Amino acid sequence: MELVFASNNQHKVDEIQAIVGSKFLLKSLTDISCFEEIPETGNTFEANARQKSRFIYDKYHFHCFGDDSGLEIATLNGEPGVDSAHYSGSRDFIENMKLVLSNLGDNPDRRARFRTVISLIMDGKEYLFEGSIEGRITKTVSGTKGFGYDPIFIPNGYEITFAEMDAAEKNRISHRAIAVKKMLDFLNKF
C-alpha cells in the first residue's frame, strides 16, 4: 500500500520508512510533485498534523498522513513545543539547541519529552495517533546522528542522546516510532 507522508524532510521520511518496513511504500511531497508550502498555523501538534494531512487529501486524494512533533521542556512551560522547528526564529537547529540550552542555563530540572501526533486520512476519514518519550536535556551537545534536538535529548533509561544512538535503536523507542507503530497497528486491521 502506498501512503503519502506530508513532509519533504528526508530525515523524517527515511526514519518512518525504516519503521514501517516494506509493507507500505512511503511517498514524500516531492514524490507526488507537491511543492507548495503547507500551512502550519495551529497552536497544537494535533492542529498542525491535521492541516498537513487534510491539505494533501483534499488536493491529491491519496491515503496520507501528516505529523507534527516537538520537544516540550517542563521548566520552560512546555517550550519550544509547536515552535520547535523555529524556536530561535529560524529553522537552524544548531541555533534552536543553543537557545534551549541558554534558556535552561544551570537549572537542575531538565525533564523533557518529545511528542508526535499523526493525522492519518484513509478514504476521507481521519484517525489520530500519538507517541511520546520522556527524558532529559543535556548541558552540552553530544552526538552526530539524527536531527533536530537529538544531540541534547537523553531518553529515560539511557545515558546517551538520540544523536549517539544508531538509527535502529532510536527507531525502536522514539516518540515518532511509538506514534507510527500505533498507526501501523491500525492499518494492519484496516
Q: At what angle do helices 10-20 and 175-189 cross, to 10 degrees?
A: 50
Q: Is 166 exposed, middle or buried (0-12, 13-18, 19+ CB in 10 A)?
A: exposed
DSSP state of 26: E
**From 31, 58, 67, 68, active-site residue:** 68
Active site residue 68: yes
Average confidence score pLDDT of the chain: 94
| Peptide bond between residue 80 and the one before it cis (omega within 30 degrees of 0) | yes
What digits encode the pLDDT tens for the residues 145-173? 878 999 999 999 999 999 999 988 998 99
Section 28-34 average pLDDT? 94
CATH of 2-189, one of 3.40.50.620, 2.60.120.260, 3.90.950.10, 3.20.20.70: 3.90.950.10
Look at residue 8 in the predicted model and tell me its pLDDT: 82
What 3-state class would DSSP assign to 139?
coil
Element (H, E) at 179: helix 175-189
pLDDT band at 6 (very low <50, low <70, confident <90, very high): very high
Residue 52 pLDDT exceeds 80 = yes
Q: What's the pTM value of the predicted model, to 2 decimals?
A: 0.91
Q: What residue spans define the domains of the chain?
A: 2-189
What digits encode the pLDDT tens for the residues 78-128? 999 999 999 999 989 999 999 999 999 999 999 999 999 999 999 999 999
